[in-house]
Structure 1
Amino acid sequence: MDASLNSPVRWPATPGLSPRELECLAWVSQGKSSTDIGAILGLSARTVDSYLEKAASKLGVRTRIEAVAVGVRRGLIPVD
């Protein structure tokens, strides 16, 4: 087995996600759509999408689901 698979994962420093980006990612992790999140937070779905796109970019991924996965692994998004 490759030794690198057994070594602990070392993530770079927190990528500087804004509180709103984290909040949107947390709602995505609960299965909410951009429309749902917008209604909850008083934002348009497009604004929510923009926050999620920025968060994904900062986390070095392409999709909102990937961003949630990375956020959970890094401890940025609480898991219930």
Structure 2
Amino acid sequence: MSGREAECLLWVSRGKSSADIGQIVGLSPRTVDSYIEKACAKLGVRTRIEAVAVGVRTGIIDPEDG
């Protein structure tokens, strides 16, 4: 998983929308959605919530870090 994909998932885990994430990291909401979709595919899940759950469980992201 790319750093940008993991970063977007981290912000999703903190309750941010794609528009919010885009403003935070300087991307369009559509680009954020694309990164999240790629992360979902790599994790073998269909939704962003499932991706966050797998990401936390596998240690890819830590919503409480930083």
Specify if TM > 0.5. Answer: yes
Distance in 1 between the 2:8 and 2:63 partners? 14
Normalising by structure 2, what TM-score?
Answer: 0.95
**Structure 1 runs of 4+ off > 4 angstroms?**
none
Does residue 40 (structure 1) correspond to residue 33 (structure 2)? The answer is no
Q: Which runs of 5+ in 2 are unaligned?
A: none
Between structure 1 and structure 2, the one with the greater Rg is 1
Normalising by structure 1, what TM-score?
Answer: 0.78
Number of positions where the alignment pairs a residue of Structure 1 with one of Structure 2: 64
Q: Which amino acid aligns with 1:67?
A: A
Distance in 2 between the 1:79 and 1:53 partners? 19
2:49 to 65, 75, 79: 65
Aligned to 1:29: 13
Please identify which structure carries the higher helix content.
Answer: 2
Distance in 1 between the 2:5 and 2:55 partners? 11
Q: What SS does the aligned partner of 1:61 have?
A: coil
Deviation for aligned residue 1:79: 3.6
Question: Per chain length, whose mean CA-contact separation is higher, i.e. which structure has more relative contact order (CA < 8 Å, sep 6+)?
Answer: 2
Distance in 2 between the 1:24 and 1:78 partners? 12
Q: Which runs of 5+ in 1 are unaligned?
A: 1-16
Distance in 1 between the 2:16 and 2:31 partners? 15
Identity percentage of aligned residues = 73
Distance in 2 between the 1:26 and 1:42 partners? 15
